[in-house]
Structure 1
């Protein structure tokens, strides 16, 4: 599980104060792939309590997938940054232009990751900034404010916005310090990473990863397909699994309707 290392109780953690200097070496405590913890983080940022993060225990068994509340609005995959993946990433990105999109007409809101070990919260930002989940972000909340400020900024400016957003840093620190396992240091080397898949209103399945050159369209889904549909799984997380022959440290969580 990405960033899934023991965490100290949240009550014991000192309040996080982000370094807002332009040249600050930013780093976050890695976020445990823990659905209740991630749900609490999203709710604290301003996502409605009618949405929650859920474990996805299988990508291939229909009976197990049936336990996930639908429609699934976003899927976060935790995967090992292996040699096979890095070769694939470099080769696929070689001919891509560096994304510079911004403004209300861009097809998807994408954030470049410049904060060390922040891939978990980056995945949650991508999950809630795009697709139907955006409608569940409360007006005037800290997340709503962050996303509205981000829309008109180009990717470098968006990265600076995330690096200096105190509300995001504080909420993330509380969540990352309160998992089931002891939290690693923010500057530890973590070889597991989050990527987010979302379906936008036009049916496009997007792969959103702040380590890439930009958002990647993986194809058009049918009108009744969500991110756990057969096509979405084939084009998304199952493609990651197919590239690996040895390291199978994979897990998934999905953003969807709350069970409460």
Structure 2
């Protein structure tokens, strides 16, 4: 569905990372963790394309959704300048989202801006640990800490938690029945390998550039295995969530 959504809050979390809270009760009713919104920054033709941004939190009691985004160009810089009370053009929720398993010991593993869609998972699950990796600046740690059982942090510069990558701090992945992950492709590839070695079911959210967001333009195609055959699927409609074992990261 397409709606003009009121901006309740738009604040900087750390350098170049922002959180926007939108009032969108109809979209909230249909949303689940792992889905995304397709956002038009302004009414002009520049920037032309909408921006796909993952849903971070779903506040069903207030009819609001939170998104976390990184300023990486003109479009997101314009987003960061939007003020409370303004309206923004939103299509969503889009994509398939995560299926949550309440009775299974779970972990979320995220890297950088990829931690954002994992926050709603730990908020909804009752037995979930979190492994989060950052380059240097961290964000949303208090919310993760209050929602998950255990919180493990890695930073590349060693300023907080362990020094290194998030995959370096996962010592016993076989104690989990389900893993949910989102982040850079190199991280997702390594998590796929770790889970395959210990026969742990893993679901990943893939971040790809998108054009239309509804499966028409084929910009976001990724290679997926079905049975003994490989096919290309569209991240925007068939994903962004896939079983890790299905995804070819070497394509």
TM-score, structure 2 as length reference: 0.31
TM-score, structure 1 length as denominator? 0.30
Give the structure with the larger strand fraction: 2
User: Relative CO higher for 1 or 2, CA cutoff 8 Å, sep ≥ 6?
Assistant: 1
Greater helix share, structure number: 1
